[in-house]
Structure 1
Amino acid sequence: MEFLMSEANEDKTSGDFREMGLRLAQEVISFLKKKMDRVSRSGFLRDIKLSFVGHSLGNIIIRTALAESIMEPYLRYLHTYVSISGPHLGYLYSSNSLFNSGMWLLKKFKGTRCIHQLMFTDDSNLQNTFMYKLCEQKTLENFRHIVLLSSPQDGYVPYHSARIELCHAASMDHSKKGRLFLQMLNNCLDQLRAPTSEHRLFMRCDVNFDTSAYGRNLNTVIGRAAHIEFLESDVFAKFIMWSFQELFC
């Protein structure tokens, strides 16, 4: 089993998700071709299992990469996908007002393209937005195992978006936005329910961090502390390794 820590989008995460997805797709294909060439020379090519672990916006980049046409020959190798706090449904119905204000400032003064895409402000017609169209792409149904990790303490990514599920605000919204959100949600869930030749494991897991040691500061107020703790906690890293290691083998 070999691991690739993606470097294709280092310091390039403020642009268009389409550009970031293409760079990741090219990086993954290059890695796979080198691996296939190496093992074919040895005369023994075992089954290839291609798995992904993404954190935060990395999950949108992964799904965008999988929608690229150059990835189509490799989709049959998809095995396990572990999503760590990924905004799969964007930031519609985000209840964190402080964070929403920060996102608004980023859009207005920095012009970050991916923020517009996550906030559905990249097109006046919601059905033409990047996130709506991404949910129409079959980016999830080829995985054999899918694990969605979320935390109710994470204020950076809407809880329902990380879990790909309905939220109360959306269920009470009978406007066009509410109907289109349900279409996005159902498009994703249909992929998870799609029949496969093998049994599919789908899990939603909540992670609760001990934030008592953080004190009262801006990071805890806006929910950034828990969002970053996914990456910085040794205990969580060990939990991932021991809980899901068999899904990667």
Structure 2
Amino acid sequence: SVLSCVGNSADLRLVRTYIELGLPGGRKDFLMSERNQNDTFADFDSMTDRLLDEIIQYIQIYSLAISRISKLHTFLSLSGPHLGTLYNSSALVNTGLWFMQKWKKSGSLLQLTCRDHSDPRQTFLYKLSKKPGLEHFRNVVLVSSLQDRYVPYHSARIEMCKTALKDKQSGPVYAEMIQNILLPVLQNNDCNLVRYDVIHALPNTANSLIGRAAHIAVLDSEVFLEKFFLVAGLRYFQ
């Protein structure tokens, strides 16, 4: 298949492993979310509700006495589409996303392409960009790769791109989204924003050509994850 949009609770197993190996001792609880893995094509509001229910259930099952979260330490994003898939340079991936959205009637894919409302400022991602969140973390770590053709490089890094600058219609809205997300982060002196650009050593295959290999390498490449956490990543979880 051209696209694989289904995630599951095992996707971050290597991330968990290298954090545990790199930082032995102390108490670390990992919630490997399962609630949405059977329906990742639902809209993000529905998936958020299910995730929230899962977190509450986890707290209740393990009798965790939590009245509030005192601090949010590190937000690590591995090629996350923070600005959606707008301005993706891959025609093949864009076609695949369009086909999957029509076939699965996917609310999440519609929201990622910013086509869920005729007014771009009423789309899910735009409204989400105006909500507080990232500025409450001590570290915001964004990992991206130009070899990844599934998630646009600028979306993973939360920054402008040349195509958006030339787009007189949607470009200004795109710039507003970036400002909405980053301004609170940059204004908080206690919040550390870091971007990592990754170049993977990939075989010459069809998956590499369409950009899928680089997209999944941040999750399933032991070589990348071991080097990333040993050289840089672990410091943000200490």
Q: 1:130 aligns with which of 124, 136, 148?
A: 124
Q: Is the CA contact (8 Å cut-off) linking 2:80 and 2:156 kept in structure 1? A: yes
Q: Is the CA contact (8 Å cut-off) linking 1:156 and 1:227 kept in structure 2? A: yes
Higher RCO (CA < 8 A, seq sep 6+): 2
- Partner in structure 2 of residue 233 of structure 1: 221
TM-score (norm: length of structure 2): 0.81
What is the RMSD computed on CA atoms of the aligned residues?
A: 1.9
% identity of equivalent residues: 41
Q: Which amino acid aligns with 1:210?
A: A
- Show CA shifts across 1:151-204 (max 9, x none): 1100000000000001111112222x11111111100111311326xx222100
Q: Once the 2 structures are TM-superposed, how far is the Cα of residue 246 of structure 1 from its aligned partner?
A: 3.0
Count of matched residue pairs: 210
Structure number with higher helix proportion:
1
Matches within 5 A, 1:36-75: 37=63, 74=68
Q: Is the CA contact (8 Å cut-off) linking 2:136 and 2:191 kept in structure 1? A: no
Distance 1:74 1:16 in 2: 27
Distance 1:31 1:145 in 2: 25
Distance 1:233 1:77 in 2: 30
- Partner in structure 1 of residue 186 of structure 2: 193
Distance 1:93 1:117 in 2: 14
Q: What residue ranges of structure 1 are gaps of 5+ in the alignment?
A: 41-47, 49-72
Distance 1:166 1:84 in 2: 18
Q: Once the 2 structures are TM-superposed, how far is the Cα of residue 206 of structure 1 from its aligned partner?
A: 0.8
Distance 2:35 2:229 in 1: 24
Q: Once the 2 structures are TM-superposed, how far is the Cα of residue 75 of structure 1 from its aligned partner?
A: 5.4
Matches within 5 A, 1:110-189: 110-175=104-169, 177-189=170-182
**1:143–1:115: structure 2 CA closer, same or farther, 3 Å change rule?**
same
Q: 2:212 aligns with which of 212, 224, 247?
A: 224
Q: Which amino acid aligns with 2:75?
A: Y
TM-score (norm: length of structure 1): 0.78
- Partner in structure 1 of residue 32 of structure 2: 5
- Partner in structure 1 of residue 20 of structure 2: none
Q: Are 1:80 and 2:74 matched, yes or no?
A: yes
**1:121–1:75: structure 2 CA closer, same or farther, 3 Å change rule?**
farther
Q: 2:195 aligns with which of 182, 201, 204?
A: 204
- Show CA shifts across 1:100-151 (max 9, x none): 0111111222211111000111111111111111111112111111100001
Q: Once the 2 structures are TM-superposed, how far is the Cα of residue 220 of structure 1 from its aligned partner?
A: 1.8
